[in-house]
Amino acid sequence: MSDRRAEQRIWLALAAFILIILGLGVVSLLRDDPDSRLPVLATVPDFALIGTDGEKVSRSDFDGGLWVADFIFTQCAGVCPVLSARMAEIQKQLDDGGIDAKLVSISVDPARDSPQAMRAYSERFGADPERWRFLTGDRAALHQLIGKGFQLAIAERSPEEAEADGGELITHSDRFVLVDRNSRIRGYYHGTDRESVAQLVEDLTSLAER
């Protein structure tokens, strides 16, 4: 009987050892896998927008690729030029690093942001149309996409409200949004913060290497 118990202890010890080794392997794999620290936060729904040449653009145009989205309007005198300048820096880093990813700037002011206005704005920041797309479209569809699809805040104010505090007619998030090859949102980053943007580039690079 004692020999059987001793054998059982040996097998139990061996099983525990195997479980520990497997556990360490899983932890190591998760630590090295960017997916483990970039949770799926939401999925970008399909959309129908308009590019700078008047072409129709939908989510399927980005299927299978990585992309970064932000939200701007061409008449903005506040945060938007800063966001676009940061996007221009990201564009250069992607080009220099040979990273296959797209940038997408979506208007929050379609009433004034025609395709032509968006094209002129894109040229102001040296956007490569093959890399960096600028999109506009129907106001209701855009607000739905931004608020429910990307899960970011957007609001419009009266001229009186904007004049009272010297702000903009439209308030919106300064977030950059990292979207993976399956149209899933993997991170939000403050576009006005250099450290946050640097983290975005690092996360984007990690996903690109998978």
Higher pLDDT among residues 2 and 183, named by residue:
183
Sign, Cα dihedral of 178, 155, 190, 188 = negative
Q: Report the percentage of the chain scoring pLDDT > 90.
A: 69
* pLDDT tens-place string over residues 168-201: 556 668 999 999 999 999 999 999 999 999 999 9
The H or E element that residue 106 is part of is strand 101-107
* pLDDT tens-place string over residues 36-66: 679 999 999 999 999 999 999 999 999 999 9
Band (pLDDT 50/70/90 cuts) for residue 23 is: very low
Distance, CA of 188 to chain centre:
6
The H or E element that residue 50 is part of is strand 48-50
- How far apart CA 72 and CA 80 sit, in angstroms, is 5
* pLDDT tens-place string over residues 156-170: 654 555 544 445 556
Per-residue pLDDT at 170: 66
For residue 178, what are the CA distances in angstroms to 14, 174, 203? 44, 13, 8
